[in-house]
């Protein structure tokens, strides 16, 4: 740790705590490598597996990592949420204000999603109070081409960029429906024209989702806001009301985000 002393900087010679080094090493390695076992973490951090096992056990207890089956450990929702709030706090704040309104009006789960490579990554959510609900968590992912939120985010890209991103990808939705790239491009073109995207029974049977963009400086799409509703609670009239409110929420969140990032004296 560096400490300023009399206009200079002095570095303590005391080594970092082994426990702290293990915790930080695990977080950095899982962020970089994805789900990893103790052997992989040991190779990445240079720390003994026994030390890493103790660190992972403590972090799992506190919700920072979780078991990922045979793969070992993965970052859990608390780690993802803390990272999100530090790097994207303005975006999350803009989302939360609008999600609260949507919950009050419709009481359906609302999520904030960003594009991470080929995935739609859930970085914040507001949960419905109803017993039948979407089961997801902050930090979870879906294939962007299949999710309503992912389609909004892909629609912000040029078609040629979508082709590059999805080159070699087998376009099979989580429920097993196979798509052709031409079909996806038609869906994205419609999303560009309509200003929203939706899916029904494509990421989970019995689930309907609709999503709108959140735009930052210069009109660039930085995230998507999505409503996820069990099919049994929707009909044409309710769907129309929810979509209208969701679109208004997206516009307000975009305006809030732009205002936060607007340079002083330019308003």
pLDDT digits 0-9 by tens, 204-215: 888 899 999 999
115 in Cβ contact with 154 (< 8 Å):
yes
Query: Is the predicted pLDDT of residue 217 greater than 80, yes or no?
Result: no
pLDDT digits 0-9 by tens, 137-176: 777 889 999 999 999 999 999 999 999 999 989 999 999 8
Query: Is the predicted pLDDT of residue 87 greater than 80, yes or no?
Result: no
Query: CA of 6: how far to CAs of 1, 3, 10, 248, in Å?
Result: 16, 10, 10, 54
Q: How confident is the model at residue 180 (pLDDT cuts 50, 70, 90)?
A: very high
Query: Domains in the chain and their CATH numbers?
Result: 2-75 (1.10.10.10), 81-261 (3.30.450.40)
Residue 193 is encoded by which pair of tokens? 């024209």
pTM confidence score: 0.68
pLDDT given at position 12: 40
Query: Is the predicted pLDDT of residue 69 greater than 90, yes or no?
Result: no
Read off φ and ψ for residue 122, nearest 5 degrees: -85, 120
150 in Cβ contact with 169 (< 8 Å):
no
pLDDT given at position 7: 35
Q: How confident is the model at residue 187 (pLDDT cuts 50, 70, 90)?
A: very high
Mean pLDDT over all residues of the chain? 83
206 in Cβ contact with 232 (< 8 Å):
yes
Residues 6 or more apart whose CB falls under 8 angstroms from that of 165 comprise: 117, 118, 154, 157
Residue 123's CB is within 10 A of a number of other CB atoms, namely 23
Read off φ and ψ for residue 8, nearest 5 degrees: -110, -175
CA pair distance 151, 162, nearest whole angstrom: 11
73 in Cβ contact with 67 (< 8 Å):
yes
């Amino acid at each position: 740790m560096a400490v300023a002393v009399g206009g200079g900087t002095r570095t303590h010679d005391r080594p970092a705590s082994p426990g702290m080094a293990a915790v930080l090493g695990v977080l950095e390695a899982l962020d970089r490598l994805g789900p990893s076992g103790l052997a992989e973490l040991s190779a990445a951090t240079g720390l003994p597996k026994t030390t890493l096992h103790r660190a992972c056990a403590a972090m799992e207890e506190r919700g920072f990592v979780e078991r990922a089956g045979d793969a070992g450990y993965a970052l859990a929702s608390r780690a993802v949420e803390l990272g999100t709030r530090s790097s994207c706090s303005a975006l999350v704040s803009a989302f939360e204000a609008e999600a609260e309104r949507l919950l009050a009006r419709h009481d359906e789960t609302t999520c904030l999603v960003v594009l991470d490579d080929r995935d739609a990554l859930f970085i914040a959510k507001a949960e419905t109070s109803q017993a039948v609900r979407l089961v997801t968590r902050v930090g979870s992912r879906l294939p962007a081409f299949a999710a309503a939120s992912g389609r909004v985010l892909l629609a912000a890209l040029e078609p040629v960029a979508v082709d590059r991103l999805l080159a070699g990808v087998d376009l099979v939705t989580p429920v097993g429906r196979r798509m052709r790239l031409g079909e996806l491009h038609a869906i994205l073109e419609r999303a560009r024209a309509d200003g929203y995207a939706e899916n029904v029974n494509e990421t989970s049977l019995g689930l309907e989702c609709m999503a709108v963009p959140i735009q930052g400086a210069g009109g660039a799409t930085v995230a998507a806001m999505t409503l996820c509703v069990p099919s049994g609670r929707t009909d044409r009239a309710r769907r129309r009301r929810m979509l209208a409110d969701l679109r208004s929420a997206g516009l307000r969140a975009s305006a809030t985000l732009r205002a936060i990032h607007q340079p002083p004296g330019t308003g």
